[in-house]
A and B are shown apart, each in its own frame.
Chain A
Amino acid sequence: MQQQPDTSGYHGDREALASALQSVLPKDAVLSQAETLKAYECDGLSAYRSTPYVVVLPETIEQVQQVLQICKRLKTPVVARGAGTGLSGGALPHKRGVLLSLAKFTRIIDVDKANRCASVEPGVRNLAISEAAKPYGLYYAPDPSSQIACSIGGNVAENSGGVHCLKYGLTVHNIQQIKMLTFDGELHTIGGSGLDAAGYDLLALMTGSEGLLGIIVEVTVKLLPRPDTVQVLLASFDDIADAGNSVANVIAEGIIPAGLELMDNAAIRAAEDFIHAGYPIDAAAVLICEIDGPYDDVNEQVKRVSKVLKSSGAKEIRVASDDAERQKMWAGRKAAFPAVGRISPDYYCMDGTIPRHQLAAVLTRITELSNEYGLRVVNVFHAGDGNLHPLILYDANIENELARTEELGEKILKACVDAGGTITGEHGVGVEKLNAMCLQFNSAELQQLHAVKYAFDPDGLLNPGKAVPSLHRCAEFGAMHVHHGEIAFPEIERF
C-alpha cells in the first residue's frame, strides 16, 4: 500500500512555480529572489540550511487551500513554517519545494471569557495569547522559553512545553480545537468546544505531528485563571547528583510544583555573567522551584519544599522576597540559552527525556561523554519533567567539530533511551533526530508511523523526509551502530 513518495520536488524552473502561485496570491506574497529567500534558509537549528525554491506568505485560508491545490497538481513538496524558532530543523525548506509561511496569520479571532478559551490564527505568538487574555484575568499555560517569538501553530505542530508543564501540561493538554487543511486543500475541524470530541483523538495525533499531516490554520486554546500567589525558591547544591535526586524527593512528598528547573555550574556562570541574577556562582547546581496557588496554600508548600530540599543536601535556599526578586531568579534561567551563546561560537541543544530517578546517573554519563569528546556541555533543563537540555558547545569553523558534536549528541540520546527515556521531550525530531529515531523504534513501528502519514497525505508531499526516518536510512545507520551483537533492521538489505 505504501507508495514511495516522489520527494525530489518540483521539476520545472523557479519562475514557473512562482508565477503559478502568484496567480492565487496577493502581490508581495510570493518570494523567489535569492536575497529574499535567504531569510528562510533555516529554523532555530542553524546548522542545517537549505534554500527554498519559492516562499509563499498567504493571508487567508482560501489562499492556503489554493496553494496546496497547485502544489498537489505540480507534485511539489510543501513545508509549513511558523516563526522558525524550532530546534530540530522541522521547518527546514525543501530545495525544490514551497515554503509556506504562516507569518501573516496573526489575528486573535476571539477570546471567550465564559468558556475560558481563545481562538487564534496559527501565526499568533504564544505570548500574545496570554497578553490578549490578561484583561479577563486568564492566561495560556504552556510557556516555551521562546514564547515571545514562537507561533501557536508551531507549538501545536511540536507539542511544545515550557517551564510550567510539570503542573499545567503540554500543548496537547491545553488546546481544544484546531482547523487544519489536508494536502488536498480540504478544511477539517478537529476537536470541539467541549472537553472531548467524537471519533478518534485526531487532536492528539495532530499535536506534535511536525507539519507532516496537515497545515494548521486555526487553534482554540484553553485559558486558565491566573493563580493568586506565586513564589519562587532558589536552592543551591554542592553536588549536581544531590540536586538531581532532590527532584524525585519533592515529587515523593506529594508536591507538584508549577515549575522545577535545574542549572549546572557552567549554566549558572554563563547566566550570571549575562543577567546578574544573583546566582551563587560557586554552586555545582541550582534548582529553581516555583509554587503557585492561594496565598496560604503557597506558604505551606514553600515550607514543605524547603524542608525536602534541605534534607536532600541543598546548602542554601533563597525564597524570593518580592515580585522583583522572583522575576530576577527566573530571568537568569530564561536567558540561559542566549547566555550560553555568549560563551561559545555555537551550541547544539539536545532534548532527551528520562525518568526522574535517572537524573543523577545520566548527568554523570553526560559528563563522562563530554570529557571523552573534549567538548564542553552545559546543562539547563526542565528537571521536574526529566526533560534534559544538554547544550554542547562547539565552533562550526573548526573542521569536523560539528560532526563530533552530533556524534556526542547521539550518544547522549542513546544514554537517555537506555535509561528508559526518549530522544525528544519537546523539540521534535525534524531532520535532526532521524537517526536517533532508529534507536528508539523498530521497523514495524516506523512503518506504522509512515502508514499514519499516508492516511492523511497519500502524496507524501507535506514536509517530506522529516520526523520519521525511512527504513533504509535506519538500515544504513544500524550498520554503523551494532549493539549487543545485534544488527538493527536485519530484514533490510544493506547497501
Chain B
Amino acid sequence: MSSDLSTQFIEQLEHCFDNKKAVKICGHGSKKFYGRQVDSSLETLDTKNHQGIISYQPTELVITAKSGTSISDIKTALDEKNQMLAFEPPQFNNQGSIGGMVACGLSGPSRPFAGSVRDAVLGVTCINGKAEKLVYGGQVMKNVAGYDISRLMTGSMGTLGLLLDVSIKVMPKPEHEITIVLEQNTEQALKTWHKLGNQALAISASCQLNEKLYIRLSGNNAAVKHAQSIIGGTEHEKGTQFWQQLRDHELAFFNDSRPLWRLSLAPATMILNLAGDTLTDWAGAQRWIKTDEPADIIRQLSESHGGHATLFNPIDNSIEPFHPLASGVASIHKQLKQAFDPVGILNPLRMTSNY
C-alpha cells in the first residue's frame, strides 16, 4: 500500500508561500518532543500518508522511500534481503518515519563504527519554502555534482525543506553478532576504549553504564572470535534487546524526570565534573547525562571538549534545546534559511528562536 501526496504538498506550500502562512511538518510524531516546541496552533503538514518504498535494489546498497514510510517497513524490506540501516536510527515508542529520521538526524549505538544517518543519505527530493520541488544527490554512492544539499537537509529539522523522498545507503547484515560485558566503571571503560580504538576490531557498538562496559561485536565468525579473544568479558544473553533499548531510550536509565542532556564530545574526554548520572555511549563520544546543573555550565564544559550539548527532553522553551551557535556560523545559518525558505513558512522556530 503506497500513496503519493507530492502534488497536494506542493499546492499546500504554494498557498502558504503566497499567504506567508507557516506550517509545522509532522511525520509519525515520534520525535515531537525533540527540539524547540512550536506554536501548536500552526497548521500541520502531515507526511504520514505519503508513504511507500519507491525502489530497492539490494546490490546497489540503496533504498529510496517516500518520507512518510515507517522505519519498520523499511527494515522489514531490508530484512528479507539480509540488509540493514547500519546507523540504527532510534524508533521511540516503536515509531518513526524515514523523513523524520533524516530531518532529525539521530543515529543509534553503531554510529562511531558504521557512520551516521547523514553519512548514509545519498539523495533527497524536497520542496523548499518557495514550493519548488527539488532533487539533489541520487542513488549512487559518489556524487559531487552541486553542493551536498541532501546532507544539509539531514538534521535541519524540516526548516529548509519538506522531504518528499530520501535515498539511503544500506549495508549487508553481519553474519554473526554477540555482546560481551566487562565489569568496568567509566574511568576504566575510557581506558579500554582508548586501547581498543587503536586496533582494527569488529566492534559495532560500545557503551558504559552502572559499572559495566558493553561491547557488541559484529562480522563474520572469524572476525568476531578474533575480537572476543582480545577483549575477553562474558557474553550477554540478551544483547540484541539491550542495544535496542539503548537505541530507543527504553533502558531504566532513561526513565527519569530530570533534564536529559546529550553531550557530543571528543571521545577521549575524561569524566565530566557534573552532578547527576551518566550513560556513556559511542565509545566515549556521546554522553547521556541526567542532571539539574544549569545549562550554561553544561554547555561551557561541552565546548571546552570540542563538543556541544542538547537538552533532549525539553519541557518548554525556557532552555534552548540546541546548543547556541557562534555568531558567525549563526549568521550563515540565517542566510541559508533565507535561501531555502525566504518567507519562513517551514517549521518556524523549531530549531532556533532566530527563525
Give chain A's interface residues, CB within 8 Å of chain B.
1, 112-116, 136-138, 158-159, 161, 165-166, 169-170, 172-173, 177, 182, 186-190, 192-202, 204-205, 207-209, 213, 224-228, 248-249, 251-252, 254-256, 292-297, 299-301, 353-357, 382, 385-387, 420-429, 433, 436-437, 440-441, 444-445, 448-449, 451-452, 454-456, 458, 467-468
Contacts and interface: CB of A to CB of B under 8 A. Distances in A.
Given A445-B134, A451-B340, A169 B119 contact: yes
B135 A445 contact: yes
B333 A199 contact: yes
Contacts of A421: 138, 140
B238 interface: no
Q: Which 9 A-B pairs have the closest CB atoms?
A: A193-B306, A204-B151, A296-B222, A455-B335, A254-B172, A193-B266, A425-B142, A451-B339, A114-B268
Contacts of B291: none
B283 to A, nearest CB: 10
Nearest to B194: A114
A228 to B, nearest CB: 6
Interface stretch (B22-30, B91-99, B108-116, B249-257): B108-116
Nearest to A138: B198
B332 A456 contact: yes
A194 B308 contact: yes
Nearest to B335: A455
A194 B132 contact: no
> Interface residue tally of chain B, by bracket?
35 or more
Given A228-B200, A456-B332, A195 B144 contact: no
B306 A425 contact: no
Contacts of B293: none
A455 B220 contact: no
A467 B148 CA distance: 12
A201 B155 contact: yes
Given A198-B322, A425-B144, A437-B145, A420 B154 contact: no
B259 to A, nearest CB: 17
B123 to A, nearest CB: 9
Contacts of A422: 138, 140, 142-145
Contacts of A209: 147
A303 to B, nearest CB: 11
Contacts of B136: 445
A199 B325 contact: yes
Contacts of B310: 198
A185 to B, nearest CB: 11
Interface of B: 57-61, 82, 105, 111-112, 115-116, 118-119, 128, 132-136, 138-149, 151-152, 154-156, 160, 171-173, 175, 194, 197-202, 219-223, 225-227, 264-268, 282, 285-286, 305-308, 310, 322-326, 328-330, 332-333, 335-336, 338-340, 342, 351
Nearest to A248: B59
A115, A294, A423, A458: residue with the most chain B Cβ atoms closer than 10 Å: A294
A1 B105 CA distance: 30
Given A200-B156, A293-B200, A429 B144 contact: yes
B282 A468 contact: no
Nearest to B325: A199
Nearest to B230: A294
A354 B135 CA distance: 17
Contacts of B221: 300
Interface centre among A169, A198, A209, A433 (most CB of B within 10 A): A198
Nearest to A441: B146
B307 A448 contact: no
Contacts of A423: 145
Given A207-B148, A425-B144, A455-B339, 18 more contacts: A165-B141, A172-B148, A188-B332, A196-B155, A201-B105, A201-B156, A202-B332, A254-B172, A255-B172, A256-B171, A292-B200, A293-B200, A356-B60, A422-B144, A425-B141, A427-B144, A433-B145, A452-B149
A202 B221 CA distance: 39
Nearest to A421: B140
A193 B143 contact: no
A76 B134 CA distance: 32
A197 B171 CA distance: 25
B138 A196 contact: no
Contacts of A166: 141
